[in-house]
């Protein structure tokens, strides 16, 4: 990775964003995006400081910092809290997260997925919740740092307690919906999902689940998310007609 020499700062501290993808199906590819939260260093930023806790903002690193216990609650922010801070610092206007940041991130990660989708190996009966990390420079340009196939689901702060359970619940609701299975399983039961091929191959007739996931790619319908209204949209991204088989 190339080091970002001029990162955007929150109250003088370096930060990154943990966002989510739910790969509901690998072939044909079906992927949804969801906002996550902000991970902020507990130390003020100084490019010349050799203290790794100043530069590495991921939770696995920050939790080892000597002052983490006393600063833990302030190390995880909501996206709205980040926006308010950046507004106060004069970097952005209100509404920037929804109108600019999220579309920029969705465009970036869609391009990455389109470039590597042929490397995603189908595995019947599975799905994947992916955490991916984004950092911003001082000109508000987003950079994709990494994908994490096993994202942390700890709820050690008030923000994480609010965000993580929703992410997990919405992911499961989305996957079960795509299978055509109610969130509260009936007599067929969730255990039969991977073996009941005939059942899983029928289109879902259930209402699309509530939640914050947004459709990015649905290869079965030739759909790719675009920030431009009317472009590359075969139908509404909130209520697609899908072949629910999950691979």
Q: For the domain that residue 154 is a member of, what is the CATH number?
A: 3.30.470.20
In the predicted model, is pLDDT for residue 2 greater than 50?
Answer: yes
Tell me, yes or no, whether 234 lies in a domain: no
Tell me, yes or no, whether 124 lies in a domain: yes
The Cα–Cα gap between 155 and 29 comes to 30
Structural domain harbouring 123: 9-224
In the predicted model, is pLDDT for residue 44 greater than 90?
Answer: yes
CB-CB contact of 26 with 123 (8 Å): yes
Q: Read off the pLDDT band of 134 (50, 70, 90).
A: very high
Tell me, yes or no, whether 244 lies in a domain: no
Contacts of 44 (CB under 8 A, 6+ apart): 12, 13, 54
Q: Read off the pLDDT band of 239 (50, 70, 90).
A: very low
Tell me, yes or no, whether 235 lies in a domain: no
Q: What's residue 204's pLDDT?
A: 57
Q: What is the pTM of this model?
A: 0.84
Number of domains the chain contains: 1
Tell me, yes or no, whether 181 lies in a domain: yes
Cα distances (angstroms) measured from residue 137 to each of 9, 13, 37, 115: 8, 13, 17, 24
State the average pLDDT for the chain: 84
Tell me, yes or no, whether 148 lies in a domain: yes
Tell me, yes or no, whether 97 lies in a domain: yes
Tell me, yes or no, whether 246 lies in a domain: no
């Amino acid at each position: 990775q190339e080091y970002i020499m001029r990162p955007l700062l929150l109250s003088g501290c370096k930060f990154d964003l943990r966002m989510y993808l739910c790969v509901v199906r690998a072939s044909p590819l079906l992927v949804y995006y969801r906002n996550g939260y902000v991970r902020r260093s507990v130390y003020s930023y100084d490019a010349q400081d050799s203290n790794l806790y100043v530069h590495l903002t991921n939770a696995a690193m920050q939790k080892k910092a000597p002052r983490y216990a006393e600063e833990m609650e302030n190390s995880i922010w909501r996206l709205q809290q980040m926006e308010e801070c950046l507004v106060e610092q004069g970097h952005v206007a209100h509404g920037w997260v929804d109108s600019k940041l999220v579309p920029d991130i969705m465009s970036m990660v869609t391009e990455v997925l389109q470039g590597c989708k042929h490397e995603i190996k189908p595995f019947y009966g599975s799905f994947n919740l992916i955490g991916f990390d984004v950092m911003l420079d001082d000109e508000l340009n987003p950079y994709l740092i990494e994908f994490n196939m096993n994202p942390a689901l700890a709820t050690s702060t008030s923000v994480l307690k609010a965000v993580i359970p929703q992410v997990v619940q919405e992911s499961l609701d989305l996957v079960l919906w795509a299978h055509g299975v109610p969130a509260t399983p009936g007599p067929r039961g969730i255990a039969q999902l991977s073996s009941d091929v005939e059942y899983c191959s029928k289109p879902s007739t259930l209402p699309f689940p509530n939640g914050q996931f947004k459709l990015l790619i649905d290869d079965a319908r030739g759909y790719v998310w675009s920030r431009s209204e009317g472009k590359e949209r075969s139908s509404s991204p909130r209520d697609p007609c899908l072949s629910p088989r999950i691979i």
